[in-house]
Every structure is written in C-alpha cells, then in structure tokens.
Chain A
C-alpha cells in the first residue's frame, strides 16, 4: 500500500488577501523540512500531502513546521469503496497491534462530489468492515481512534493517528529577529516563541573566556542547533565580551555591574542586528524571576537598545517556561551546568532600581559606542544546521 503524510494547517491566516503569501511560505518551509527524507509536497485543497522515501522521518519533520497544526500518516488508495475499506482495515489493524482493541469511529470528507456515495454512507460501510474484520468496538462519541477518510479530486486516503504540529505562523512571514542566547533555560524558549510567530531567528552569545569555559560555548551551540531545527538553519554570533566586561566592572560600583553588562549587550546586539538585517532583539527576560528583574532595571537596560526589545517570556512562571523547554527539546541541554557571564564579579545583592542617568554617567567616561561596534563586527559567526534531534511528538 502506498503511504503518505497528511499535513493540516491553521486557519487563522487563511483570511484576507495575505492568504497566498502565508501559504507559499508554509509550502516552502514544508518542502525544506521534508527534503532530507526524500519528501515531495503536493498541495491539496486545504491540506498538503507529502510522499516520502522515509515516511517516519518526514512525519517528524513536518510536525515541526510552524503553521502546521497536525500531521497524520496516511494510506493512499484508489477512489473506490473496496480500496478505501481495505485501507481502513489496514489502518485499524496497525493501531490495534500497537494500542490494543481500542474503540473507533470513522469520519469521512468527500470533496470529490463525483464519488457515488455520500460521506455518512462511506463511514457506515467502511465502519462495518472494520468492526467485523478487525473486531474493534464502535464509539461515535468518544472514540480512542478516529479513522479519517478523505475522498478528493487529487487523491483519496485513509489515516488513523494524528500528531500535533506546533501551530503558529510560518517562519519568515514576520521578519528576522536577533535572540540574546545564553546557556540557560529561558532564552532558547524565547527564541522558539518568536519563531512560532513567524520570525526567523538568529542568535548572539556573549562569551567571557576564561571566566566562562568553552564548554558553555559548546552548550550554546547545541541550543542554537536545536532552534535551527525549527527553521532549517540559524546564524549564531559569538561575542568575546571579557575585556569589555572587565572595563565596565571597574568603571562603576559592583551593584550596578549587571545593568551595565546588559546595557552593553543591548548595544552590541543592536549593531549585530543591523549587520544581519534583524528588526528587533529578543531576550528571555522575565518580570521578577530573579530579584534584579524589576521594571526599573528592564527600562534602564532597554534604553541602551537601538531596536525594539521583545520579551516573550515576560509574564511566564518558571514552571511554564520549563514545561515548554521540555516540550521543544531544549531543556535537557539547558539543564547541564553552565556559567553565566552576568554573574561575574557581581555582589550578592545587585541594584534593583538602576536609573538611566546613573548608568549613562558611568558609560560617558568610556568609548562604549566604539566598543559596541567593534565587538559586533569582530564577533565569530557560526552557521548551524538542523541537529536532527526533534522532540518526540505527542500523539493527540
């Protein structure tokens, strides 16, 4: 029997005149995602059909394309009742082998109205065959397995299990952003959430060797590679931050160090964003997660940025961020020990309400604009490709 994958997309962006734009981006992303598995994408009415040399791999890849709401492995068949019934029986058998004798129902969509039986009739006839030949009990209200049948002009197919996609909007529909990536739990999640809104993410990491070891840099690369898996490839810039950090630390009181470091990161990231054409900066910052994440500090830090600073995790509880990190597969990497350069040379009780004037007065004595430009320009560029380590998809 011929196999394929049915790919469904959300309908939020189907309205209005942008429909064609969104769909062409989605199709492009889908093609790219399934290409390594030998996948060929066919556009059906309101769905895509992917035929692939490696159907299991293509299923996984397609389930990680933003804009996709769900995917199902399907059996292709001829548009006649016997062939459809055979496929449904095969599909039910496969499920029964895996999950036992679960209850089922059949749902049919007949978009090809030339087909001689109406949808309900198809469901009834095929359901009868599954019941007698496989022995699964019928439950039309809360079935454990819904067998879908679609009879269309271009193709006819039958599917059982469904894997959830990430939803959201296709990457590249919303413009590029630059993510400030550390080795922690939050920033990769922040980047993923922006990808989900259609942004293509590149990343910047501030490395303070020898105060942070190269193991931390490797960890950040691993995280960037995981994010690349959701958009194909990703550019990571590594900024060598040690000397600047030392100079900032010496220029002002220790309590202000974190704010001064972060203001400098905003400046460097703003320069780097311009070099790469990014339209906004993204951070994993949160309100109140640690004591110094106050609105006053956030405002003082943002004042140094030349671009909008987006904080998708601002309102998340730590447990919500962690749960999402687990779902998208970054948690295990983030949970490894790492050294955060912001904690360097910093007293136990940092400033909670830093004021722009105070920070700016300290910075005025240093050639910060020149440092920021040079640090961005001298940053090491690492192009990362999909790690091919997707999070296990959840069956729905």
Chain B
C-alpha cells in the first residue's frame, strides 16, 4: 500500500506549479531583483507579480504584503514589530496561540511589556467579549489565531476585532492565518484585520517562505536594519524563488478553493464518522462545526498518542500526535491544557490536503479503528 500522508497541518508536498517557479527563479531568472540590469529586472518582475498574486488572494494592495521567511517570522514581526512601534505597553493574545506568538510575547515581556492571555472555551473558541474585557487603554496589539494548528477550531476574527476596537480604537489586531489560508477564504477586507501571517509550506509551497499582511498606515519596527527591501520592514535580498513559488502555490489554492474546501470537509467528516462508529468513546477535540475543513483532531481515552502514531505509521498512515497528551513523561500541550482536556486522553491530529483521496480516508479510518482497538485490549 502506498503511504497515506495525513499530516498536512505540519507541512505539505510541493505542488508542480511551485516547483516550476522555484526552478525558474533559481536557474533562469535568478538575478538580484535590486540590480539595475535586465536580469535583475526580470527577477523584480517575478517579485512584483508574486506580490500582486498574494494581494489578490488576500484582498489587499500589493504594497501591503511583506515577504519573510515563514509563519514564525511573520508572527514575530507582526507582534513584536507592532508593539515596539506603538506607544502602548500591553499585548494580548489567546491562550491557544502558536509558539511563534507566545515566543514573541516572551520577547516583549523581557522588554518590559505586560502580556495577557485570554482563556478559550472547551471547544477552543475565543469569545470576543472576553477579549474585549481584557483590552486596556495601553493595549498595543491583540493577536488571535484564525484556525488553531492543533485542534482546528476557527475563531471569529471579525467579531473579536470589532469588540477590541470598540474598547480601544488604537489597538491593532494581528491574525495568525497559517493554518487557514488556502483552506478557507481568507480576506483581510472581510476579516477587518490590521496584520495577518501566512506560510507557504502549509499550502504546497516551499519551506522558508511566508508573508505578512500589513494594513496601510500600520507602523512596524523592523527586526533588523539593512538595504530597505520590503519597504524597510524586512530588509535583506528577497528570496525571489521561494516567493514566486509561494505565489504559484497560492494561485492554485485560490483557484481550487471553492471545490477543495467542501471536499476536504466532506472527507474529514467521513473519517470522523467512521472512527466514531467503530470505536467506543472516540471524540472530536475542538469545535464540532466551527473548524478548519482539513483538520480532524481525535481523542481516545486510555491510549497513548505517540504509540498510536507509531502503530499507524507501521500501517503506512502518517498523522501527528496532536500533542503529547496521555503520554509517559511528556505533559499535554498548552492548547490541550487551555481547553481543559482530561489527561488520560490520547490525541492524534489528522490533517488532509486537497490531494487527499476518498480511498486514503477509508483506509486511514480503518487503520485508526484497528490500532485503537488493539491498544485497548
């Protein structure tokens, strides 16, 4: 049996369009886009087109896209850069943020900022009123995750932003959209955000490339100085090949979204249904409806998640141990602790891509049922 890769939340396979762009801008149009000669102009044209593709996908101006090295850098640049450029000394985030955001808060705390985490519900939802209640007069940035990377819960970004601005119109809203972009429509206009992070390798682009949407008028303090690239917000010779490959992958994702989103959701629901039919007390972690279409986060009482992961890998099914819950020396992840999941539940995260087939889902569901039953006997 061919291996079934269901860990697309961790990373995805490069698509052909991204590969072609990667090769073209590495081998043919490889020049420095800042160079004055024709070769440089060809590279800068690729860069400009990539920026336009990204802007079209995000519903923003090309000038509002800042290219960087990926989700972690985008999160850090947004949260740290915006806080340092603002007057306020308070930063707010949800309790289930990615380590990239939590790490940015640590950096700010060391600089004397006050940072608060807003708790979430047992489904991982972030209540707009709860966020607004935590906003202070000196709150500079509020950071929330669009789709949670572990449990898949979708957060109502627009309502959170509106509640925040009602309390403090100067506070900026940053959204980590690394897991949602390319899986569901992500429009910065509809979401009404100030800053939004995304990463190429989660949507069949290359690793080491990402982007940050920075709404016109929002000021960021760059992390380092240099030659002024990316409007000075992220200086350094642009990773043209990576950026163009990301744009190519984004173009495909956007083109196929209307078809891929419901299909992934349908397959995901089938997987969950199959497992719940066959396995006693298999539960969906996160919100039952409001979740990213590619994410199934499953919990099994009395099962060690890593052992289940290894058994599945033996059967050719690659998933991730959503977090090291119910395992030996490891403690549950901050996300699972934030949703108050019982310690005895082993959690696996199954994440689909638009390439996932029906046969793969059937086979994976069968393997999960078999392995959990075997582990429980």
Please state if B328 and A209 are interface contacts (CB–CB under 8 Å).
no
Please state if A339 and B306 are interface contacts (CB–CB under 8 Å).
yes
Q: For chains A and B in complex, what number of residue pairs have CB atoms within 8 angstroms? A: 23
Write out the residue numbers on chain B whose beta carbons fall within 8 Å of the beta carbon of A210.
307-311, 313-314
Write out the residue numbers on chain A whose beta carbons fall within 8 Å of the beta carbon of B310.
209-214
A343 contacts chain B at the CB level, 8 A cutoff: yes
Q: Give CA–CA (A343, B328) in the complex, Å.
A: 8
Write out the residue numbers on chain A whose beta carbons fall within 8 Å of the beta carbon of B308.
210
Write out the residue numbers on chain A whose beta carbons fall within 8 Å of the beta carbon of B330.
337
How distant is A240 from chain B, measured CB to nearest CB, in Å? 12
In chain B, positions 201-231 with a C-beta closer than 8 Å to chain A are none
How distant is B211 from chain A, measured CB to nearest CB, in Å? 32
Which listed residue, B307, B313, B329, touches A211 by the CB 8 Å rule? B307
Q: Give CA–CA (A210, B310) in the complex, Å.
A: 5
How distant is A185 from chain B, measured CB to nearest CB, in Å? 14
Write out the residue numbers on chain A whose beta carbons fall within 8 Å of the beta carbon of B314.
209-210
Please state if B309 and A213 are interface contacts (CB–CB under 8 Å).
yes
Write out the residue numbers on chain A whose beta carbons fall within 8 Å of the beta carbon of B306.
213, 339
How distant is A348 from chain B, measured CB to nearest CB, in Å? 11
Write out the residue numbers on chain B whose beta carbons fall within 8 Å of the beta carbon of A213.
306, 309-310, 313
Q: Give CA–CA (A213, B310) in the complex, Å.
A: 6
Q: Give CA–CA (A213, B330) in the complex, Å.
A: 14
In chain A, positions 318-363 with a C-beta closer than 8 Å to chain B are 337, 339, 343
Chain B residue nearest to A210 in the complex (CB): B310
In chain B, positions 327-343 with a C-beta closer than 8 Å to chain A are 328-330
Write out the residue numbers on chain B whose beta carbons fall within 8 Å of the beta carbon of A211.
304, 307, 310
Interface centre among A210, A211, A212, A337, by most chain B C-beta atoms within 10 angstroms, is A210
Q: Give CA–CA (A337, B330) in the complex, Å.
A: 9
Chain B interface, DSSP helix/strand/loop, else mixed: helix
Which listed residue, B311, B313, B328, touches A339 by the CB 8 Å rule? B328
Interface centre among A213, A214, A337, by most chain B C-beta atoms within 10 angstroms, is A213
Q: Give CA–CA (A211, B329) in the complex, Å.
A: 13
Chain A residue nearest to B313 in the complex (CB): A210
Chain B residue nearest to A209 in the complex (CB): B310
How distant is B370 from chain A, measured CB to nearest CB, in Å? 13
Q: Give CA–CA (A335, B35) in the complex, Å.
A: 47
How distant is A217 from chain B, measured CB to nearest CB, in Å? 11
Interface size on A, residues (CB 8 A): 9
In chain B, positions 298-331 with a C-beta closer than 8 Å to chain A are 304, 306-311, 313-314, 328-330
How distant is A188 from chain B, measured CB to nearest CB, in Å? 19
Chain A residue nearest to B321 in the complex (CB): A213
Q: Give CA–CA (A213, B311) in the complex, Å.
A: 9
How distant is B123 from chain A, measured CB to nearest CB, in Å? 30
Q: Give CA–CA (A214, B304) in the complex, Å.
A: 16
Chain B residue nearest to A340 in the complex (CB): B328
Write out the residue numbers on chain A whose beta carbons fall within 8 Å of the beta carbon of B311.
210
Q: Give CA–CA (A337, B306) in the complex, Å.
A: 13
Q: Give CA–CA (A77, B304) in the complex, Å.
A: 67
Could you give, for residues 252-293 of chain B, a 1 whenever the CB lies within 8 Å of some chain A CB and a 0 otherwise? 000000000000000000000000000000000000000000
Q: Give CA–CA (A214, B318) in the complex, Å.
A: 13
How distant is A42 from chain B, measured CB to nearest CB, in Å? 50
Could you give, for residues 206-241 of chain A, a 1 whenever the CB lies within 8 Å of some chain B CB and a 0 otherwise? 000111111000000000000000000000000000
Chain A residue nearest to B330 in the complex (CB): A337
Write out the residue numbers on chain B whose beta carbons fall within 8 Å of the beta carbon of A214.
310
Q: Give CA–CA (A337, B313) in the complex, Å.
A: 19
Q: Give CA–CA (A343, B304) in the complex, Å.
A: 13
Chain B residue nearest to A338 in the complex (CB): B329
Q: Give CA–CA (A339, B329) in the complex, Å.
A: 9
Q: Give CA–CA (A212, B327) in the complex, Å.
A: 11
Could you give, for residues 182-216 of chain A, a 1 whenever the CB lies within 8 Å of some chain B CB and a 0 otherwise? 00000000000000000000000000011111100
In chain A, positions 368-391 with a C-beta closer than 8 Å to chain B are none
Q: Give CA–CA (A337, B327) in the complex, Å.
A: 13
Write out the residue numbers on chain B whose beta carbons fall within 8 Å of the beta carbon of A337.
330
Q: Give CA–CA (A210, B329) in the complex, Å.
A: 16
Q: Give CA–CA (A152, B314) in the complex, Å.
A: 65
How distant is B325 from chain A, measured CB to nearest CB, in Å? 15
How distant is A238 from chain B, measured CB to nearest CB, in Å? 15
How distant is B100 from chain A, measured CB to nearest CB, in Å? 20
How distant is A218 from chain B, measured CB to nearest CB, in Å? 13
Write out the residue numbers on chain A whose beta carbons fall within 8 Å of the beta carbon of B304.
211
Q: Give CA–CA (A127, B279) in the complex, Å.
A: 84
In chain A, positions 289-340 with a C-beta closer than 8 Å to chain B are 337, 339
Q: Give CA–CA (A212, B311) in the complex, Å.
A: 10
Could you give, for residues 44-73 of chain A, a 1 whenever the CB lies within 8 Å of some chain B CB and a 0 otherwise? 000000000000000000000000000000
Q: Give CA–CA (A210, B304) in the complex, Å.
A: 11
Interface centre among B304, B310, B314, by most chain A C-beta atoms within 10 angstroms, is B310
Write out the residue numbers on chain A whose beta carbons fall within 8 Å of the beta carbon of B309.
210, 213
How distant is B10 from chain A, measured CB to nearest CB, in Å? 14
Write out the residue numbers on chain B whose beta carbons fall within 8 Å of the beta carbon of A212.
310
Write out the residue numbers on chain A whose beta carbons fall within 8 Å of the beta carbon of B307.
210-211
Write out the residue numbers on chain B whose beta carbons fall within 8 Å of the beta carbon of A209.
310, 314
Q: Give CA–CA (A121, B314) in the complex, Å.
A: 75
Could you give, for residues 110-136 of chain A, a 1 whenever the CB lies within 8 Å of some chain B CB and a 0 otherwise? 000000000000000000000000000
Write out the residue numbers on chain B whose beta carbons fall within 8 Å of the beta carbon of A339.
306, 328
Write out the residue numbers on chain A whose beta carbons fall within 8 Å of the beta carbon of B313.
210, 213
How distant is A140 from chain B, measured CB to nearest CB, in Å? 50
Chain A residue nearest to B312 in the complex (CB): A210
How distant is A100 from chain B, measured CB to nearest CB, in Å? 32
Chain B residue nearest to A346 in the complex (CB): B328
Q: Give CA–CA (A343, B307) in the complex, Å.
A: 13
Write out the residue numbers on chain A whose beta carbons fall within 8 Å of the beta carbon of B329.
343
How distant is A276 from chain B, measured CB to nearest CB, in Å? 29
How distant is A336 from chain B, measured CB to nearest CB, in Å? 13
How distant is A343 from chain B, measured CB to nearest CB, in Å? 6
How distant is B28 from chain A, measured CB to nearest CB, in Å? 38
Write out the residue numbers on chain B whose beta carbons fall within 8 Å of the beta carbon of A343.
328-329
Chain A residue nearest to B311 in the complex (CB): A210
How distant is B362 from chain A, measured CB to nearest CB, in Å? 22
Chain A residue nearest to B324 in the complex (CB): A337
How distant is B48 from chain A, measured CB to nearest CB, in Å? 43
Q: Give CA–CA (A211, B306) in the complex, Å.
A: 7
Pairs across A and B, CB under 8 Å, 9 listed: A209-B310, A210-B309, A210-B310, A210-B311, A210-B313, A213-B306, A337-B330, A339-B328, A343-B329
* Chain A interfacial positions (CB closer than 8 Å to B): 209-214, 337, 339, 343
* Chain B interfacial positions (CB closer than 8 Å to A): 304, 306-311, 313-314, 328-330
Can you list the 6 inter-chain pairs with the closest CB atoms, starting with the nearest? A210-B310, A210-B311, A213-B310, A211-B307, A210-B307, A343-B328
Q: A211-B304, A212-B310 are in contact. List 7 more A-B contacts (CB 8 A).
A: A209-B314, A210-B308, A210-B313, A210-B314, A213-B306, A213-B313, A339-B328
